[in-house]
Amino acid sequence: MILALDVGNTNIVVGCIENGEIRNIFRIRTDVNQTYIEYAVKLREIFEILKVDTDAFEGAIVSCVVPPVTKSLTDAVKLLTGLDCKVVGPGMKTGLNVCIDDPGTLAADLAVGAVAAINCYGSPCIIVDMGTATTITVVDGKNRFLGGAIMPGVNLSYSALSSGTSLLPHISIVPPPKAVGSNTIDCMRSGAVFGNAAMIDGMIDRMEEELGVKCNLVVTGGLASSVTKYCRHELICDDDLLLKGLWILYNKNK
């Protein structure tokens, strides 16, 4: 069994993976101020609640987009399990040919998602990850990572909208009865849900037009199922995409 950790800007997704089967998924808050001891205590407490035997881990891998957290978390894993954590980054075998301007700047989560998408669903593919930021990335039929687009995530953008205006309230991201809202909250929810779904549809159309080929469309992230069910493209929703990618990368780099 391996320990896989996907560190995002808001949450750390933790999964225990055995023979490719993901078990005991949970989330903890990403906190740059936490020490490695504090992370270790938090992880140990959750493992005890879930009755996970930390001695059963034979390896660990982490993908992190918050650099100050990487060392704290890898040190926590070392303290808790005695294992050195593999860290997704330059030099790791991925099977991707990274064709962006500076391959060394490719974010770990984008690489992990791309690896999972091409291995689980095939290429060419477009991967939408709806987290703190919404990212849309493209891998062509030769497994070349071509790049993509980055937008503010739904929660982040609407939190900024509410904080930066006098009359617009904070809202929950749920669909309104119809696209044409008849009150402030429904108008905001229409933009958050239907507006983001339309944006994703539009970006997919533009990207497929540039590629000249239809792609496998894969979506993941915390708000994926809430928003993309209103997209007009047929999307594959995989909440565990990045954990699957971490399992694949771990085995590629044993």
Which residues are known to be catalytic? Answer: 109
Exposure string for 59-76, b = 16+ CB within 10 A, e = fewer: bbbbbbbbeebbebbbbb
Q: Which residue has the tokens 């609640």?
A: 49
For β-strands 59-64 and 2-7, DSSP reports them as parallel
Give CA–CA dist 174/176, Å, rounded: 7
Residue 51: exposure state from Cβ atoms within 10 A (0-12, 13-18, ≥19): exposed
State the angle between helix axes of 36-50 and 67-81 in degrees (0 to 180), rounded to the nearest 10.
50
- Contact between 137 and 148 under an 8 Å Cβ cutoff? The reply is yes
Give CA–CA dist 26/5, Å, rounded: 10
Residue 217 phi, psi dihedral angles, 5° rounding: -115, 115
Residue 130, strand partner residues: 134
Give CA–CA dist 135/246, Å, rounded: 18
